[in-house]
């Protein structure tokens, strides 16, 4: 119906839309040319041509958004640039009067995973302009807390403890904790190295601690220290 409608107005649309009519009719609704805006406004709307299943899905989606208190507007001209979207596409704009730039855009895709060789799996995805998000946070004066970064020096005293320190540092990194080792041998030198590298904590393992199966954990910001089991 959309193609038939545009065929009836072929002399009124821009050259780009004449090409879109053949290659990708949905992109007709995304035209920014002033010449085409009256045609877009009068064009058939997809929500009036849904099957029963998709219509029920659409009504349920709107009900869910209302239930969680999300403000939304239905944009009959919204078309995303990827052809694998199904049912719903969306864009998020900042809640600032007079500003309409998109900071998030995405949609639902029911067949993408299967196209890539997996099982039929519905999904949803989006892209976000991080620079625009930051810009809008600043404009709205939203306080952004600095992330608390934990950086650990694993200090070792003795050859046996060094092997344990290597393994512990590796395990911490695998767990997402930034961990380093010092090239120095003495504890004082290793702790100076930790301060130079802006470490927040030091895990101290000596041969005596290793024999007891423990390590000393020192908070370098608070100068507090506690004993923990190496198995914890």
Q: What is the pLDDT of residue 27?
A: 82
151-229: what fold? Rossmann fold (3.40.50)
How would you label 7-36 residue by residue, b for 16+ Cβ within 10 Å and e otherwise? Answer: eeeeeebeeebeebbeeeeebbbbbeeeeb
Burial class of residue 165 (count of CB atoms within 10 Å of its CB; 0-12, 13-18, 19+): buried
Which residue carries 């839309």 as its tokens?
A: 17
Q: What is the pLDDT of residue 204?
A: 94
Burial class of residue 44 (count of CB atoms within 10 Å of its CB; 0-12, 13-18, 19+): middle
**Mean pLDDT for each consecutive 10-residue tract of the chain (232 residues)?**
86 87 84 88 87 92 86 86 83 73 89 87 89 85 78 89 87 90 87 92 91 92 89 76
Instruction: Give domain limits for the chain.
Output: 1-44, 151-229
pTM of the model: 0.56
């Amino acid at each position: 119906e959309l193609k038939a409608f545009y065929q009836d107005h072929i002399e009124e649309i821009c050259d780009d839309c004449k090409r879109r009519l053949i290659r990708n009719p949905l992109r007709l609704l995304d035209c920014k040319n002033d010449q085409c805006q009256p045609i877009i406004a009068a064009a058939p709307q997809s929500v009036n041509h849904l099957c029963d299943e998709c219509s029920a899905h659409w009504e349920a989606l709107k009900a869910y958004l209302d239930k969680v208190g999300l403000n939304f507007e239905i944009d009959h001209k919204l078309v995303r640039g990827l052809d694998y979207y199904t049912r719903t596409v969306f864009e998020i704009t900042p809640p600032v009067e007079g500003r309409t730039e998109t900071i998030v855009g995405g949609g639902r895709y029911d067949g993408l995973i299967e196209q890539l060789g997996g099982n039929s799996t519905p999904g949803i995805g989006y892209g976000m302009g991080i620079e625009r998000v930051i810009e809008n946070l600043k404009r709205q004066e939203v306080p952004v807390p600095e992330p608390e970064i934990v950086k650990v020096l694993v200090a070792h005293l003795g050859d046996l403890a060094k092997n344990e320190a290597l393994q512990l540092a590796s395990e911490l990194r695998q767990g997402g904790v930034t961990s380093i080792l010092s090239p120095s041998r003495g504890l004082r030198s290793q702790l100076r190295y930790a301060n130079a590298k802006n470490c927040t904590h030091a895990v101290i393992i000596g041969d005596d601690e290793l024999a007891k199966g423990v390590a000393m954990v020192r908070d370098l910001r608070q100068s507090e220290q506690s004993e923990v089991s190496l198995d914890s």
